[in-house]
Every structure is written in structure tokens, then in C-alpha cells.
Chain A
Amino acid sequence: MISPSESTAPPAVTLAAHGLSRRFGSHTAVDGVDLQLRRGEVLGFLGPNGAGKTTTMQMLTGNLAPTAGAVSVCGVDLLEAPVEAKSHIGYLPETPPLYRDMKVGEYLDLVARLHRVPSAKRRAAVDKAQARCGLSDVSRKLIGKLSKGYQQRVGIAQAIVHEPDVIILDEPTVGLDPNQIRDIRALIRELGGTHSIILSTHILPEVEAICDRVQIMHHGKLVYSDTIAALKQFHSGRILLVGLNNPPAMDELAAIPGVTRAEAAGEHLFRVSIAAGADPTTQIVTLAAERQWGLHQIAPAQTNLEDVFVNLTTRDVTDGEKAA
């Protein structure tokens, strides 16, 4: 069933999962996850530890059989034709699968062979992957002798050397220093132009910086799924963080026209919710000056995703089940 469905929509669906579930004994690790990924899309997969992200990724890459549900990669059913489906996937597991006593170039050549890159193109594919991940200088070094950050990069290079349609990265920036993280993020963005990427992480700014879409998992269920753009639009400017050294009563803040709610968000820091369309920033500044509240900071709340995340993943289980 390989149907190039170009006619329906320009970006074809590269990865689709329906009702994916996995039980370990009586414990349900993943429960009815639906997922769809189009070409050129970067999907951020979020969730607290133990939410089922890694289990889901293992099922998407054919390393774990689902209890229920189906996965198709570029129109090929992963459970019925695993070998063909896997040829479209590049996977970086939580622990990078590196042979420590191989040289970087030698290892990537092996990976290219295993993924059936034709021998004429193998050299170029390995060189390209090395260049993309900043590994050209260490090509002749033993993987075991490299630092953790470089090993992580070899792990990413391993997932992209055969130019797969779908790239699945389980916490790709773990163990990297800030500069390397920036490089890897740029690389993921670049790859996202032509490939489909799923990456799991618990670094929220990372998702906001590089993903088109975000899905949040909690207790094995998908609790949130939306585009980053929609998320930003929805929350943009609706919460102000106001720092006051000499704060008034909460009611006084809440009484300012355009403010719907005010609450403490830390020491001398307040979270002020704003009604749609209103902008009470000027009023707050003027009032703060008049009444000597000691204003030292006023800014729109930056970490919108964090709010959503905390909101969704700290509710108790009964609450979550009611909502689901």
C-alpha cells in the first residue's frame, strides 16, 4: 500500500500511529496514542519522566511490539512489513547505540551499510553526516575516547546518515554544552525542512525554539496536541509578570481595568492575567509610580509552554481521567 498521495495535500503524511497502546503486565505504559507527522514537520514530544515517551518511540521504530494499535511509515505498515518500514526511519534511542571500539567514520560507514546505502554513495553520505554534526575532525578517533557531547553527536549522525524520511530522536541534546545545543538545534531545524522529525525532550524552550507542533504525554496518554504557532497566539501577551518591591493588595492590582486576575508568582513577583484585547501595561506603570509600588520589572510571561505543561502534568490522576 504505497500510495504517493500527492493529490490530497502537498506535505504527505510520513508517520501515522493509531490507538497505540502498550501494557507491561498490569501496568499500562502507553494508552491509545494517536500521532500524525507530515513531511517537513518537527514534532516536539513532551512529558514528565515516566510518561511513556520512550516507550512510544520504541514502538514507532519497531523495537517494541505494541499491545494494540497500528503504525505506518510512508504508507508501509510497520508491523506487517517491518524491514521495508524501517528503511524510512532514523532513530536515536535514549542510550546512543555506539560501538566504543570503532572509529567514528568506520562506525557511520557500518550504519550506512546496515541501512542499505548503495556503496557508490556511502562515502559521500558518511562525509555529509559528519560535516552536519561537526564530526569531520574526529572521523578517525575511537568513539570510546570521545567526550559525551561528541558521542551524542555521533548518535545523531547515525540517525541521519541514510537520509531517512522520518527521524526519531529521544532526548537529542542531553549531555551537550550550550554551544553544542545551539548547533544541534540549528541542525534539527535544517533537517526539519526536508524530513519529518519527532524529538522528545523535557527542555521546554527547546520545543518552542525548534518545533512546529507539540504533543504532551502524561501517564501514557496524549493530553495536549497543538501547533506552537497556535500556542503562542493563544497565550501571547495574556499574562504579564510584574515585579513590585512594595506591592499593594491583590485586589488593588486586580481592579486595574483590563486585568482579570492577579496572583503572587514568587517573591515580589506577580502574575497578572489580562482580558482579551486589553493592554493595561501603561496603567500599571503609571499607578505603580503614583502609589510607589516599587516597580522593577514588567514583561509578558515568556514560558507559555511551561504553563501548559505544568498545568497538564501536575493535576492528579482522577482529574486527568475526568478530562480525558
Chain B
Amino acid sequence: MIFTIAGKDLKALFTSPIAWVVLTFVQLIVGYGFLKRFDEFMEVQKQLLQLASPPGFTELVAVPTFATTAAIMLFAVPLLAMRLIAEERRNQTIVLLTSAPISILDIVLGKFLALLGMLLIILALVALMPLSLSGATKLDYRLIGSIVLGLTLMAAAFSAVSLYVSSLTTHPIVAALGAFGALMAMVLMGENVADNLQTRGLGVLATFAQVFSPVKNFEPLGKGVIDSYAIACLVLLTVLFLAFTVRQLEARRLRG
């Protein structure tokens, strides 16, 4: 049942122009960045060889390319998520789902998977850029794998937050702006709040704050460090906001 809803919403994403616009946009920006860095890499390649342990293609070209993708996700996810619940409530089509023999949890998970599926498509297209050179150079597959895992987990966390904001309003645009605001707040907070609390000796609060810093939790994975605490934080943030979404939709049934 989850997959029926996921399939329906993924299809709906592709019938609207938003998905195509976002896909095009991502390909243009990331593709341009990739080619530019590739070009620069070719120029400095000879000088790099004189270093003792020179950074390779993966560090100099692939990693920044994925970093750009992470930044783009920050506004792409709210845009892709905005209609998922807000528009269904606005058009009162959500009644079709809530009248069918499906639990609210399944509805939320279905929509979450649709969004994550869309983001994985974007991620796959991005990953194809460095991977297309696998025959020409030696790629660090472990580093790439770690980054892709990190990006996937971060995309999941962004999706859960955006889905929750979409359940709060019946205006898709408000949902997009709200979700973007919430994610930005988390990014800014992640920069210093956790460190700040740590230096003041509020270790418990710092631990708590780190859950809400998805970008900070992505950083170790982005460097190829499998930090299980950072992974747990990303998963926890995702689960937390999915639970909020379920609660919000349940509350609509109770409040009317």
C-alpha cells in the first residue's frame, strides 16, 4: 500500500513541471561546476605530481561536485515536497486516501518514499558525472560511496522536514518557503550552536542540538569518515519529523 501511494506521488511529481525544472536546474549547475573543476584539474595535474601524496581526481573534482548537490538540495527538496500534502488538502483529495483502508503512517511513508525516490534520481544523475570517467582515472570508490550514503541520509532528513511543513498548511508556496526556512535555520544553527553548547559544558544539550544539524552530520560522511553517531542523528531527525507528520494528520481527524 505504501508503494501504491509512493508510485502515485512520484508520477504526480513528473506530471507537474516542478520535477523537470528542478532536474534541469540541478544538471545545469552541477554539470557546469563539474566540467569547470575537471578543466582546472587537467591544468594543475602536472604540478600535483610533484607533491608527496597528491590529492586525486576524486578529492578535487568529485567531492566538490557532490558538495554543490548538497547545497542545491537545500532548496530543491522544499520545492519538490511542497505539493505532497498541502495541495492534497487544498483540493480535498486527501479524503480519498483517508477514506481508504490505509493507515495514516502508510500514507506518510508513501509520500516520503516518493520524494526520496525523486531525490535518488537526482543523486544518481549527479553520481554518473564522476563515474563516467571511471575508465580514464582511478576513482576512490569508498569515498564516493560514503558521500552518496551521506547525501541520501541528508536528503531523507530534508524530505521528512519538508513533508512535515507541507502538512501544516494548505498553500504549497507557503509550505516551500516554510520548509526552506526550517532547513536554513537548521544549517545556521548547526554551524555553531552545538559547538557553543559544548564549550559551555552543556554536553547533553549539545548532543540534542546535533540531531537538528543535518548538514553538520553530513560533513564526516562527506570526508569519507563513517561516523555512526552522525548517521544515527540523521536517521533520528528523519524518523522524528515523519512522526510529527503522522501526528499532524491524525490531529486533523480529531480537530476537524
A interface residues with partner B (beta carbon < 8 Å): 22, 24, 55, 58, 61-65, 82-84, 86-87, 89, 91, 93, 95, 97-101, 110-111, 113-116, 158
- A24–B101 Cα gap in the complex (Å)? 26
8 Å CB contacts to A: which residues of B80-133? 91-103
Tell me if B98 and A62 are in contact (CB < 8 A).
yes
Tell me if A97 and B254 are in contact (CB < 8 A).
no
Tell me if B95 and A110 are in contact (CB < 8 A).
no
B 5-24 binary contact with A (CB < 8 Å = 1; else 0):
10010001001100000000
In the complex, what residues of A have CB within 8 A of residue B12's CB? Answer: 99, 101
In the complex, what residues of A have CB within 8 A of residue B16's CB? Answer: 101
- A160–B96 Cα gap in the complex (Å)? 13
**Known interface pairs A95-B95, A114-B1, A116-B1; 6 further A-B residue pairs with C-beta atoms within 8 A, sorted by A's residue number:** A22-B256, A87-B101, A91-B99, A95-B92, A115-B101, A158-B96
Interchain residue pairs with CB less than 8 A apart (9):
A62-B253, A63-B95, A64-B256, A86-B99, A91-B95, A95-B91, A99-B12, A114-B1, A114-B5
Shortest distance from the beta carbon of A26 to any chain B beta carbon, whole Å: 14
Shortest distance from the beta carbon of A237 to any chain B beta carbon, whole Å: 43
Tell me if A110 and B8 are in contact (CB < 8 A).
yes
Complex partner residue of B254 from A58, A65, A86, A100, CB under 8 angstroms: A65
Chain B interface extent, by class = 20 to 34
In the complex, what residues of A have CB within 8 A of residue B96's CB? Answer: 97, 111, 114, 158
In the complex, what residues of B have CB within 8 A of residue A110's CB? Answer: 4, 8
In the complex, what residues of A have CB within 8 A of residue B103's CB? Answer: 82-83
- A268–B75 Cα gap in the complex (Å)? 73
Tell me if B101 and A116 are in contact (CB < 8 A).
yes
- A83–B12 Cα gap in the complex (Å)? 25
The 7 closest A-B pairs by CB, nearest first: A97-B96, A87-B101, A114-B100, A97-B93, A86-B101, A95-B92, A91-B99
Tell me if B256 and A86 are in contact (CB < 8 A).
no
Tell me if A61 and B253 are in contact (CB < 8 A).
no
Tell me if B101 and A97 are in contact (CB < 8 A).
no
8 Å CB contacts to A: which residues of B222-255? 253-254
Shortest distance from the beta carbon of A135 to any chain B beta carbon, whole Å: 17
Shortest distance from the beta carbon of B190 to any chain A beta carbon, whole Å: 38
Tell me if B93 and A114 are in contact (CB < 8 A).
no
In the complex, what residues of B have CB within 8 A of residue A89's CB? Answer: 99
Shortest distance from the beta carbon of A172 to any chain B beta carbon, whole Å: 15
- A91–B96 Cα gap in the complex (Å)? 8
Tell me if A86 and B93 are in contact (CB < 8 A).
no
In the complex, what residues of A have CB within 8 A of residue B95's CB? Answer: 63, 91, 93, 95, 97
Choose among B99, B102, B256 the residue with the greatest number of A CB atoms under 10 Å from its CB: B99
Tell me if B99 and A63 are in contact (CB < 8 A).
yes
B 145-164 binary contact with A (CB < 8 Å = 1; else 0):
00000000000000000000
- Chain A, Cβ-Cβ closest to B106: A83
Tell me if B100 and A115 are in contact (CB < 8 A).
yes
- Chain B, Cβ-Cβ closest to A168: B99
Shortest distance from the beta carbon of A186 to any chain B beta carbon, whole Å: 25
- A97–B16 Cα gap in the complex (Å)? 18
- A100–B254 Cα gap in the complex (Å)? 28
In the complex, what residues of A have CB within 8 A of residue B94's CB? Answer: 97
- With contacts A64-B256, A65-B254, A110-B8 taken as known, whether A83 is within 8 angstroms of B98 at the C-beta atoms is no
Tell me if A114 and B92 are in contact (CB < 8 A).
no
Tell me if B256 and A84 are in contact (CB < 8 A).
no
In the complex, what residues of B have CB within 8 A of residue A115's CB? Answer: 100-101
In the complex, what residues of A have CB within 8 A of residue B100's CB? Answer: 86, 111, 114-115
In the complex, what residues of A have CB within 8 A of residue B92's CB? Answer: 93, 95, 97
Shortest distance from the beta carbon of A242 to any chain B beta carbon, whole Å: 48
- Chain B, Cβ-Cβ closest to A155: B96
Choose among B8, B94, B97 the residue with the greatest number of A CB atoms under 10 Å from its CB: B8
- A313–B91 Cα gap in the complex (Å)? 32
- A113–B94 Cα gap in the complex (Å)? 16
Complex partner residue of A114 from B4, B91, B253, CB under 8 angstroms: B4
Choose among A24, A97, A98, A99 the residue with the greatest number of B CB atoms under 10 Å from its CB: A97
- A87–B103 Cα gap in the complex (Å)? 12
In the complex, what residues of A have CB within 8 A of residue B93's CB? Answer: 97-99
Shortest distance from the beta carbon of B163 to any chain A beta carbon, whole Å: 19
In the complex, what residues of A have CB within 8 A of residue B5's CB? Answer: 114
Shortest distance from the beta carbon of B215 to any chain A beta carbon, whole Å: 35
- A173–B256 Cα gap in the complex (Å)? 25
- Chain B, Cβ-Cβ closest to A115: B100
Tell me if A63 and B101 are in contact (CB < 8 A).
no
- Chain A, Cβ-Cβ closest to B94: A97
Tell me if B99 and A113 are in contact (CB < 8 A).
no
Choose among B15, B96, B98 the residue with the greatest number of A CB atoms under 10 Å from its CB: B96
- A84–B100 Cα gap in the complex (Å)? 10
- A158–B95 Cα gap in the complex (Å)? 12
- A99–B5 Cα gap in the complex (Å)? 13
- Chain B, Cβ-Cβ closest to A111: B96
In the complex, what residues of A have CB within 8 A of residue B99's CB? Answer: 61-63, 86, 89, 91, 93, 97
In the complex, what residues of B have CB within 8 A of residue A111's CB? Answer: 96, 100
